[in-house]
Structure formats: C-alpha cells, structure tokens
Amino acid sequence: MTNHLNWLLFFQPIVDGEDTVWWEMLFSGLLWTLATSAVAAVIAFTVGSLMGVLRTTSHKGLSFIGNAYVEIFRNVPLIVQFFIWYFVIPEFIPPLKQWSINQDPTEVQFITSVVCLGLFTASRVAEQVKSGILSLSRGQRAAGYALGFTEAQTYRYVLLPMAYRIIVPPMTSEAMNLIKNSSVALTIGLTELTFRTKEMGENTFAFFEAYIAATVLYVIVAMSVNRIMALVERRTAVPGYIAGGK
C-alpha cells in the first residue's frame, strides 16, 4: 500500500495556476488548532480554578454553583455544546446575533470554539483543582487561618500554590485532551487541522496521505505539550505528594 501513496501531493498546488500548496493549507489548519487550544486553555485554567475552589468552600451556595457547573458541562457532549453556543445562544441574545452576522465568519467560529472548548475543559480542570485541594492536610488550611488570613487569602497563599503543584500530572492529560478536542470545532466550520485534512481528502481522494499527515502533526503537538509539562512537573514537584513521587 505504501508504494502507492503519493507524498509529492503535499507540494502540488491546491488549484492549478495558484501558488498555495497542500502542505501550506494543512499548516494553516494546524495554526488554527494551536491558537484555539492556547486561548481555550487560558479560559479553562481560569474558570476551572474558580469552580474548583468554590466546590471546596464551606459556603453551601458557592459549593452548589461549582458542583452545578461541573455536572452540566461534563454531562453534555462536547459536540452538542458547540452547536448550542454557535446556533442556539445567539438566537436568544439579539445583540450577539447581530454581532455574529456583521463579523467575519472565521472570527465568530474561532471565538465560539475557544469559549465552548474552554468552558467544557474548565469543568474537568475544576475536578483536578478540587482533588488537589482536598489532598492537602487540614492543618494547612488551619495554619492559614491561624496566621490571620481570610478564606480567600488562605486559598491564594497556602492551598492553591500547593494544589497546583500536585495536579501537574493529571493536568498534562487535560492539556493533551484539549488539543484533541479542538478537532470538534470543524462541526461549526472552523478551518482547523482536522477540517483541512478532511478538505484535502475530499478534493484529492488522497485520504491516506492526508490523515497520516494529520496524525503525525497531532502526535508532534501532543508530545511537545507532554514534554513541556514533564519539565514543569520536575521543577515544581513536592516531595511526599503525588507530583513528587517520593
């Protein structure tokens, strides 16, 4: 089979007479994948940390909000959430609908993708943050209060710095999952890597070549993230805890 694969296809023009070739189109899709994943990661970490903290507070109302958020976003399929954010929500918010009509479709698809993917991943980050906080001894929280810290200050200066260092390994998996989940953005038209791969296959019928190339690119990106997070884990490891391994 490999003898019949046409790898030179990647250097052929997409349209006769134009300069853009197929590998450039795939690379542009990869850039959209990286941009979507990076911005969504910021949203996921910020919102996920907040929800993780709310789920561990003694305030029942705040705890309920955090738990409700996680249950809603974790139990609705990601593809359904993409459709809700892109097709449904603008219908209920007229200014948002008018804005989406007037903007470039790619911009709307990108913003929708990062918001949807970020909020979905935040529910998973919240679980990790909660686990990290609960893994700490009660004495650390008590020590914060004994020093005169408020509850917010105790989280800021005592609990979260330790919890983040402990949850680096599971957060590595979440980061890699976020990159893979970005491929769902093709369902609303974002021209990320999977969209471009599908487009190349349908136009050239070289599905094997297109998807092999996409697989290699996804593996390279995922492994790069894995190595970066492994470095972070070594630098922040806490002896005696999960990340420390001792």
Domain of 160 in residue numbering reads as 2-236
Confidence (pLDDT) at 243: 46
Look up residue 140 and give its amino acid. Answer: Q
Instruction: Write the pLDDT tens digit of every residue in 89-141.
Output: 999 999 999 999 999 999 999 999 999 999 999 999 999 999 999 989 888 99
pLDDT score, position 245 = 42
Residues 223, 208: Cα–Cα separation, whole Å = 22
Q: What local confidence, expressed as pLDDT, does residue 246 receive?
A: 39
The answer as to whether 242 is a domain residue is: no
Tell me if 241 is assigned to some domain.
no
Tell me the CA distances in angstroms from 54 to 3, 9, 65, 126, 229, one per residue in order.
57, 53, 7, 9, 26
Residues 6+ apart with CB under 8 A from 108: 86, 100
| pLDDT at residue 17, rounded to an integer | 72
CATH number at residue 48: 1.10.3720.10
Q: What is the pLDDT of residues 44-85, one digit of tens each?
A: 999 999 999 999 998 999 999 999 999 999 999 999 999 999
Number of domains in the chain: 1
Would residue 245 count as lying in a domain? no
Q: What was the pLDDT predicted at 15?
A: 82
Calculate the dihedral angle through the C-alpha atoms of 172, 190, 77, 203, rounding to the nearest 10 degrees: -100
Q: Which tokens in the block code for residue 167?
A: 């949850």
Identify which has the larger pLDDT, 240 or 244.
240
Over the stretch 3-34, which tens digit does the pLDDT of each residue have? 578 889 999 999 877 788 999 999 999 999 99
Answer whether residue 246 is part of any domain. Answer: no
Distance CA 194, CA 207 (A): 12
Mutual orientation of helices 193-204 and 22-54 as an angle, nearest 10°?
150
Q: Is residue 199 part of a domain?
A: yes
Q: Give yes or no for a contact between 159 and 140, defined as CB atoms under 8 angstroms apart.
A: yes
Mean local confidence (pLDDT), 184-203: 95
HSE on the CB side for 32, CA within 13 Å?
26
Structure confidence at residue 192 as a pLDDT band (50, 70, 90): very high
Instruction: Quote the CA–CA distance of 176 and 223 in Å, as a whole number.
Output: 8
Structure tokens at 191: 């021209």
pTM for this prediction? 0.91
